[in-house]
Amino acid sequence: MADAIDAQDGSFTVGIVGAGLIGVMLAAGLVRRGISVKVYEQARGFREIGAGMAFTATSVRCMELLDPAIVYALRSSGAVPISIGDHQGEARDYLRWVDGYNQVPGKDTTDERKLYEIDAGIRGFEGCRRDQFLETLVKVLPEGVIECQKRLQQVYEKELGDKITLEFADGVSVEVDCVIGTDGIRSRVRQHLFGKDSPHSFPHYSHKFAYRGLISMENAISALGESKAHTLNMHVGPNAHLIHYPVANQTMVNVAAFVSDPNDWTDSTSLVRPATRLDAMNDFANWNTCLRAVVGFLPEKIDRWAMFDTWDYPAPYFSRGKICLAGDAAHAAVPHHGAGACIGVEDALCLAILLGEVSVSMRGQSAMDYGRAVVAAFNTYDAVRRVRAQWFVDSSRRVCDLYQQPEWADPERWAKAETCFEEIKDRSHKIWHFDYNSMLQEAIEGYRQRMSE
């Protein structure tokens, strides 16, 4: 028999599947709005891999609207501006592109042609380690909201006024009034919505993989020179590119080298494979001396990470009935805008505002009325969010194609290759300068419109 979560005020209960960053932030936003919520996480705890990530200034303001405690958690977990400029004492962030392929003849080997720079503003990007942020973030939630070791097995939907049953691998079932899947790129909730035989249920290989590793600041300076070693730079070239930025209080430099791969990734259950520094050096053999030096400082044994996303088969809808998807579960992108989680934060804010509206407007109504309201809220969420989120998935592929234009290899075609930066700027601005207030207004109006029909 299934345990039902009791809504504290007799209204409705939300079951979130997946306690990643987006699931936990969303739960915090719902708790703050007095909504009964439980988060079910398959893992035993929150020790994720220590990958670096960054949040745009806009997404930090979205966190604030979800719950100011989220921003406090971000900052207290050690977030710092990630791509700070070379001007002393300034907190502005810049994105910078340099020519990683062509040697400038007769120049210092650390010298590369500077191609473009975009000013992302004060605290434009705040970087942190995912594991550290998540560990601090879960403490924002009251005791007992998150339940670990709950691997979702099956979802049972009945009528509009009925509860939805979530069945977990440990045999336990729970009943909730609505379900939000924030269970990441390989979302189980997504598979429930589209079916196990549909390509829309699964991410696909983007035909790019990445080598990742840390190098010491000392080595970085010898390869890149002082200025580049201390800042974020993207080195572009034919069919590959490399990004690096300082971490650990400027004592180390994080390096990610992305390589085009015409082959299929045969085993999609394992997205990481062992590789060696030599593999990476072969992939960048024809690049400039400066770039080759960076790759040469990578550890001898490194991993090759497959980049999967939902570009090939995007979700035809983000919600059906009283079930919806958010974050990577709805739209997983390759990491080339450095802002995948930011789009998920926008999702979470939109859902929190909409469910807050349901909670306030439906108080005391029947389960059937609540059901109708949740469907209206989720359909509105789909209408408000899907276009932007799927644009972001496309755009993440597109900017990678621009960074990796074959034209970078041919000086006669540099003029063509360099025309890409206006588009890259436009795409970056669309992400950074997102008008979340308009989104929220559209969401509330859309919900009210649907409820009045």
Cα separation, 28 vs 276, whole angstroms: 42
Pairing of strands 233-237, 301-309: unpaired
Angle at 339 between CA 337 and CA 342, to 5 degrees: 155
Helix (H, G, I), strand (E, B) or coil at 170: coil
Helix (H, G, I), strand (E, B) or coil at 388: helix
Cα separation, 47 vs 191, whole angstroms: 25
Residue closer to a second copy by CB (options 3, 435) is: 435
Residue closer to a second copy by CB (options 99, 126) is: 99
- For position 388 contacting a second copy by CB under 8 A, the verdict is yes
The helix (H) or strand (E) run that includes residue 183 is: none
- For position 406 contacting a second copy by CB under 8 A, the verdict is no
Q: What are phi and psi of 315, to 5 degrees?
A: -60, 130
Q: What are phi and psi of 151, to 5 degrees?
A: -90, 115
CB 229 within 8 A of CB 222: no
Residue closer to a second copy by CB (options 292, 425) is: 425
Residue closer to a second copy by CB (options 148, 387) is: 387
- The packing angle between helices 57-66 and 21-32, to 10°, is 40
Query: Which among 32, 113, 151, 212 is annotated as catalytic?
Result: 212
- For position 45 contacting a second copy by CB under 8 A, the verdict is no
Residue closer to a second copy by CB (options 90, 422) is: 422
- For position 415 contacting a second copy by CB under 8 A, the verdict is yes
Residue closer to a second copy by CB (options 201, 359) is: 201
CB count within 10 Å of CB 175 equals: 17
Interface with a second copy (CB under 8 A), residue from 314, 338, 356, 446:
314
Helix (H, G, I), strand (E, B) or coil at 52: strand
Q: Which stretch binds a second copy (CB under 8 A): 88-96, 213-221, 261-269, 306-314?
A: 306-314
Query: Which among 245, 370, 403, 447 is annotated as catalytic?
Result: 245
Per-residue tokens: 410? 């041919």
Q: Which stretch binds a second copy (CB under 8 A): 59-67, 92-100, 289-297, 392-400?
A: 392-400
- For position 313 contacting a second copy by CB under 8 A, the verdict is yes
- For position 413 contacting a second copy by CB under 8 A, the verdict is yes
- For position 212 contacting a second copy by CB under 8 A, the verdict is no
Residue closer to a second copy by CB (options 292, 388) is: 388
* Residue 47 bears catalytic tag: no
Interface with a second copy (CB under 8 A), residue from 133, 211, 311, 408:
311
Interface with a second copy (CB under 8 A), residue from 426, 433, 441, 449:
426
Interface with a second copy (CB under 8 A), residue from 157, 167, 394, 442:
394
Distances (CA, A) of 258 to 234, 251, 279: 11, 23, 12
Q: Is 113 exposed, middle or buried (0-12, 13-18, 19+ CB in 10 A)?
A: middle
- For position 312 contacting a second copy by CB under 8 A, the verdict is yes
422 sits in the region (left: phi over 0; alpha: psi -120 to 50; else beta) called: alpha
CB count within 10 Å of CB 178 equals: 25
Least Cα distance to 325 among 352, 340, 344, 342 occurs for: 344
Closest distance between a second copy and the C-beta of residue 247, in Å?
33
Cα separation, 235 vs 95, whole angstroms: 11
- For position 156 contacting a second copy by CB under 8 A, the verdict is no
Letters for 110-149 (x = contact with a second copy by CB under 8 A, - = none) are ----------------------------------------
In the block, which residue shows the tokens 């010491």?
216
- For position 442 contacting a second copy by CB under 8 A, the verdict is no
CB 185 within 8 A of CB 332: yes
* Residue 436 bears catalytic tag: no
Closest distance between a second copy and the C-beta of residue 37, in Å?
30
- For position 453 contacting a second copy by CB under 8 A, the verdict is no
- For position 438 contacting a second copy by CB under 8 A, the verdict is no
- For position 218 contacting a second copy by CB under 8 A, the verdict is no
Cα separation, 406 vs 146, whole angstroms: 48
In the block, which residue shows the tokens 């890149």?
224
Cα separation, 382 vs 114, whole angstroms: 41
Letters for 157-196 (x = contact with a second copy by CB under 8 A, - = none) are ----------------------------------------
Q: Which residues are catalytic?
A: 212, 245
Residues found near a second copy in the complex (CB under 8 A): 199-200, 311-316, 387-388, 390-391, 393-395, 412-413, 415-416, 419-423, 426, 430
